[in-house]
Amino acid sequence: MKLADYKATLSFSNGSPAVDMPIYQGNIGPDVIDIRKLYAQTGKFTYDPGFLSTAACQSTITYIDGDKGELLYRGYPIEQLATNCDFLETCHLLLYGDLPDAAKKKDFTSRVTNHTMVNEQMQFFLRGFRRDAHPMAIMTGLVGALSAFYHDSTDVHNAEHRDISAIRLIAKMPTLVAMAYKYSVGQPFIYPKNDLSYAGNFMHMMFATPCEEYKVNPVIERAMDRIFILHADHEQNASTSTVRLCGSSGTNPFAAIAAGVACLWGPAHGGANEACLEMLEDIQRMGGVSKVGEFMEKVKDKNSGVKLMGFGHRVYKNYDPRAKLMQETCNEVLTALGLENDPLFKLAKQLEKIALEDDYFVQRKLYPNVDFYSGIVQRAIGIPVKLFTGIFALARTVGWIAQLNEMIGDPEYKIGRPRQLFTGSVKRDVMPIAKR
Ligand code: ACO
């Protein structure tokens, strides 16, 4: 961290002495005021629910410029990664800091590929779930259970354990998501195939059956790979911060990632892609494009509780760069599958057009986020809506683990322990039950 040549001074109107606080500068992005000694110096905490103005760590992995609508993984723009690299190259970049050369890529791909099978016993664990369980409920359980199946890589303070658990998680997530899907439709699990690409193998485990050959469609394979790249990391979002906080206690990597999966499930975060598609289907049922105006009125009415899912973002106050790439993929997939006239895609485009011109959205700087189009792509590929967030979890696993490993390796890391402003009852005595 680079100390800035200026400092912050906090003064109080009640006569308490002012305090100086150092300021640090990142390589890009806003400077940060170091408030770590604030409580010791003033007896006061800061109050920032939702972390609107709080940097909880230093990081070298992902940078977002929300005003420009820019996303960089280790300095590389997402647009360049999505068009020139595949997901495993992106994983290497996030985990180890740089894109692999051909030899490193071969080695990394081989390490991941050789860890794609899961312990056979995990099938029996999975079979304990109801067939109609939500895939994210299953994924939270399965990922947490990995720590019971892979004891030999659970010491988060051991760099070798961290590396092997990273490879295991990246390799096994597609297998687990596909198993959760197969279980829900009552089909046999399909084992991984080492001659397929990461995305191709996932498609094969999802859609092949033992009865007939399944040929992976290269357009769909590329689209899936792009979905993985676009979701691979996103700085200190809710699930990543959950992984860091959970991991800060020294728990094992599988447990920390399971906490991330649980957090991602919420509709304000990863669950938005599922919620977005459900919203589009609801409007379609109500009458489609002709009902868009009516729906938008509800969205703008604060009392309705209706939000335009797939719109808005805590950090992006401009078009989410991932949404642009996803819209491109959406066009490609729908064309390749002969679904150019897909009514939901038309509806989404109409909603987007109206929202981008509407004062309510313009004033609040609300733009489409990645989830606005990812649901349409996944639905076209044949992925059931309930599995969307599971696929997001699959892709985000590399980001979570890179962030967790970065935190453990940071000499400044401490167990996370936020403070509070207490507004409950002051000390009181317990009365005997007859007198309460
Ligand atoms: N539809 C309608 N109004 C919205 C929307 C929306 N999608 N998003 C924000 N607003 C409004 C808010 O009501 C608020 O209005 P106000 O200032 O009049 O009170 C204003 O815009 C600011 O929004 P906040 O909710 O304060 O912004 P915050 O940063 O807390 O929330 C969030 C961001 C949760 C993403 C929000 O925009 C939202 O719920 N969007 C829909 C869900 C979604 O798409 N989530 C995916 C996020 S991306 C991801 O996880 C991959």
pLDDT tens digits for 30-43? Answer: 999 999 999 999 99
Q: Tell which one of 230, 278, 311 to mutate to probe ligand 1, the residue whose CB is within 8 A of the most ligand atoms.
A: 311
Q: How confident is the model at residue 236 (pLDDT cuts 50, 70, 90)?
A: very high
Contact 166, 177 (CB under 8 A): no
List CB contacts of 309: < 8 A, sequence separation 6 or more.
267, 272, 275, 276, 278, 279, 371
pLDDT of 342 over the 90 cut = no
Q: Tell which one of 227, 299, 369 to mutate to probe ligand 1, the residue whose CB is within 8 A of the most ligand atoms.
A: 369
Q: How many C-beta atoms lie closer than 10 Å to residue 349's C-beta? A: 15
Ligand 1 atom closest to the Cα of residue 234 is 51
Question: Which tokens in the block code for residue 205?
Answer: 């485990």
Residue 383: name the closest of 399, 395, 400 by CA.
Answer: 395
Centre of ligand 1 from the C-alpha of residue 268, in Å: 8
Ligand 1 atom closest to the Cα of residue 276 is 44
Q: Whose CA is nearest to atom 49 of ligand 1?
A: 269
Question: Which tokens in the block code for residue 29?
Answer: 């992005």
Residue 136: name the closest of 177, 165, 190 by CA.
Answer: 177
Query: What distance in Å separates the CA atoms of residue 346 and residue 247, rounded to the nearest whole number?
Result: 43
Contact 184, 132 (CB under 8 A): yes
Report the percent of the chain where pLDDT is more than 70: 100
Centre of ligand 1 from the C-alpha of residue 52, in Å: 13
Question: Which residue ranges have their beta carbon within 6 Å of ligand 1?
Answer: 268-270, 272, 299, 307-314, 364, 366, 369-371
Q: How many C-beta atoms lie closer than 10 Å to residue 170's C-beta? A: 26
Q: What confidence score (pLDDT) does residue 372 get?
A: 87
> Tokens 């820019």 identify what position?
70
Q: What confidence score (pLDDT) does residue 307 get?
A: 92
pLDDT mean over 48-70? 96
Query: What distance in Å separates the CA atoms of residue 130 and residue 134, rounded to the nearest whole number?
Result: 9
Catalytic residue among 86, 233, 320, 371: 371
Q: Whose CA is nearest to atom 2 of ligand 1?
A: 307
Query: What distance in Å separates the CA atoms of residue 373 and residue 348, rounded to the nearest whole number?
Result: 8
Report the percent of the chain where pLDDT is more than 90: 85
Alpha-carbon distance values, 201 to 94, 168, 192, 249 (Å): 21, 16, 6, 35
Q: Whose CA is nearest to atom 11 of ligand 1?
A: 364
Query: What distance in Å separates the CA atoms of residue 149 and residue 320, rounded to the nearest whole number?
Result: 38
* DSSP letters for 244-310: HHHHTTT--HHHHHHHHHHHHTSTTTTTHHHHHHHHHHHHHHHTGGGGHHHHHHHHH-GGG----TT
Q: Whose CA is nearest to atom 44 of ligand 1?
A: 310
pLDDT of 125 over the 90 cut = yes
Q: Return the bridge partners of 71, or none.
A: 64
- The distance from CA 235 to its chain's CA centroid, rounded to whole angstroms, is 9
Q: What confidence score (pLDDT) does residue 427 get?
A: 98
Query: What distance in Å separates the CA atoms of residue 168 and residue 340, rounded to the nearest whole number?
Result: 38
Q: How confident is the model at residue 267 (pLDDT cuts 50, 70, 90)?
A: confident
The chain-wide mean pLDDT, for the chain, equals 95
3-state helix, strand, coil in the chain (%, to 5): 55, 5, 40
Centre of ligand 1 from the C-alpha of residue 94, in Å: 28
Catalytic annotation present for 371: yes
Q: How many C-beta atoms lie closer than 10 Å to residue 31's C-beta? A: 13
* DSSP letters for 122-159: HHHHHTTS-TTS-HHHHHHHHHHHHHHH-GGG--TT-H
Residue 313: name the closest of 81, 71, 140, 93 by CA.
Answer: 71
Q: Whose CA is nearest to atom 21 of ligand 1?
A: 364
Question: Element (H or E) spanning 2, and its range?
Answer: strand 2-10
Centre of ligand 1 from the C-alpha of residue 313, in Å: 6
Alpha-carbon distance values, 365 to 68, 317, 361 (Å): 12, 5, 6
> Tokens 């609508």 identify what position?
69
Contact 256, 406 (CB under 8 A): no
Ligand 1 atom closest to the Cα of residue 312 is 37
Reported as a single tens digit per residue, the pLDDT across 294-334 is 999 999 998 999 999 989 998 899 989 999 999 999 999 99
The stretches of 186-237 forming alpha helices (DSSP H) are 198-207, 218-230
Query: What distance in Å separates the CA atoms of residue 203 and residue 220, rounded to the nearest whole number?
Result: 9
Contact 257, 401 (CB under 8 A): yes
Q: Whose CA is nearest to atom 22 of ligand 1?
A: 364
Catalytic residue among 134, 231, 234, 313: 313
- Quick one: residue 368, left, alpha or beta (phi over 0 = left, psi -120 to 50 = alpha)? beta
pLDDT mean over 330-350? 89
